[in-house]
Structures are given as structure tokens and as C-alpha cells.
Amino acid sequence: MNLRKFGSIDWQIGEIGLGCWAMGADWGDVSEENAKNILKTSFDNGVNFFDTADVYGDGRSEKFLGQFINSTSERIYVATKAGRRINPHEAQGYYDKDLMESYVDRSLKNLNVDTIDLLQMHCPPTEVYSHDSTYEMLDYLVSKGKIQHYGFSVQTVEEAIACIQRPHTKSVQIIFNMLRLKPAEEFFNLAKDKGVAIIVRVPLASGLLTGKMNSNSTFPENDHRNYNINGDAFDVGETFSGVEFNRALKVVEELKSITPEGFSLSQLALKWILMHDAVSVIIPGAKNSDQALNNISASSFPDISNIMKQIENIYATYLKDDIHPRW
């Protein structure tokens, strides 16, 4: 596994991490045994950065991860998130030090650690990014030793740009994949110049970029690819990267047609992201160990400079006019 420096923090991170949403909830059923196997397989094959959140299965994901990291003496970097437990989900909750500290205390207990490596605000309302109280609350949590560093998980490029104006923001987690190119055009260089780490989520567009879906694909009721297809539960951009399903399938066929020999479409999708040196780590999820290994393998695949422009052209032809202005 190739390593990358995590922004201005002196962490050497495997460039493929693991997103632990699926072992919490919202992706159909993932058994405890499967979750433990995914974590072990990932770690044994070079993954040392794990991303979770307090709301993934109401703490289920954090607990699985906590059990795993306490089973080894090796250095593992854990990023969790807070904020989506606020109900109603309004900006004021993010300014409440006592409330946010209670969420962090719960995560510390779930993870069975004394301090959290990286706490991310979990896609808060847009006004949170420009409010001084947000950063006062986060600096307070750092001063108490409950978190080491903080960053933001954002929905839009504009939110990403806003939060990196603050000096203690260490990372931004953002959706970036072959169906959404705006971050590379308008954000990556700004983050790189400021030494802010970039965590890429939804790299496979909720599985679309595996190339295994078709117009007859169906998803369980407890899978966000079913219940959030129109953004009824949270931002629709988290599901299939916000692209209408059948339209996305047509784009996937175009991408398949230029996939190099020896690559699966998912390996191409991950390698394409890794071609952007501003990216610190990608956090694809997995519902079994085979998926995790397939994702990890992309780190060892050869340079694809010769088709980067073709991928940009496919995006510009089919998606840019609709997707670019929204996120």
C-alpha cells in the first residue's frame, strides 16, 4: 500500500482507507462476523485509516471499530463524526459545547479510546462553516484532550472552501468520483496550498462505479440506495453521487468502454482519484472482505495519465451542466 502524508499532520496514511458506514447501517445487512472480517482483512493489507460516525447504526460501527483497534498494538488512525444526532438538525446545536462534548464522550466510549484522532463535523448546515462559535467549540474539545484534530465532512465545494479559511481545520471530507469532478477544479489546489488533508468519500458513487448494476437492480428497504433515491432522508448527493440512476448507467457504459485492460471499473475509479496528488486518502466502503481487497488493489495499479482527459470529456458531455452547479 502506498502511503501519503495527511495534510499538515505528520501521519503516514495508506492511500486507500476504509469507510465504515456499511457495517453500521443503511447498506442492507452486514453481520458482526462480516464486519470483523472486513476490518481485519483491510488492516492486514495495509489500511491504517478508518472513517466512521456516531450515527452509523447508532454507534454500531464505532463499537466494531473500537473492538478492532483495541485488539492490536499497531498504530491505527480513526476519524469519526459528530453533529447528525442533533434533533432537529439545526446550526445552533453545533455551537453548544456541552451538547457536542456529550456526543464526543459517547464516541470515546464506543471506540474505547482516550482521545479521538480526528473529529469531523458531519455535514452541518451551511451557516455553521462561517460561525466563530463552531471553531470555539472544536478548539475547546482539543484543549480538553478529547480530540487531537478536527475537520469537516462537507456537501459542497463552497462549504469546503469556507472551512479551510480557519487555521485549525486539518481535513475536509468530500464526495469526489468520476461522476463529480468539481472538487478537483475548484478546491483541491486551495486545500493543498493550506496543508489541509482531503478525504474522498463516495468514490464508487454508491456502487455505480463497480459496473455491476443495471436497470433491474433493486436494493433492500434498509439501504439508502432505496429510501434516499430522491433525497428523502439526507442530501441526495450521498446516493449515487446525486445522478439519476438510469442516466448514470449510461455514463457507466461510456466509462467501461475506456477502462484499460486488466482493470475492473471500480479499480479504474479508485486509481483515477489517486492520480490527484492533493488527495490524502480514499475511504471506499465494503460489505465483505472480497470487496475490501478489490478496493485496496487499486493502490498498486499503473498510471492512467493517457485516459484522464477522456474521463473529463465524458463528465463534461453527460453530467457537468447538471452536477457542477449543485455541489
pLDDT in tens, 54-84: 999 999 999 999 999 999 989 999 999 999 9
- DSSP state, 279? -
**Does residue 176 surpass a pLDDT of 90?**
yes
Distance CA 281, CA 197 (A): 8
Taking the complete model, does pTM exceed 0.85, yes or no?
Answer: yes
Question: 3-323: which CATH number, 2.102.10.10, 3.20.20.100, 3.40.140.10, 3.40.50.300?
Answer: 3.20.20.100
CA 25 to chain centre: 15
Give the pLDDT of residue 227. 82
Element of type H or E holding 321: helix 320-323
pLDDT in tens, 207-247: 899 988 888 887 888 888 878 778 777 778 788 888 888 89
Element of type H or E holding 66: helix 60-69
Per-domain boundaries in the chain? 3-323
Of 264, 291, 210, which Cα lies nearest the Cα of 16?
A: 291
Of 86, 84, 41, 81, which Cα lies nearest the Cα of 61?
A: 81
456541552: which residue's cell?
98
CA dihedral (248, 251, 253, 257) in degrees, to 10, reads -160
What is the grid cell recorded at 248?
Answer: 448514470
- Report the pLDDT averaged over residues 266-278: 97
**Does residue 107 surpass a pLDDT of 80?**
yes
**Does residue 12 surpass a pLDDT of 90?**
yes
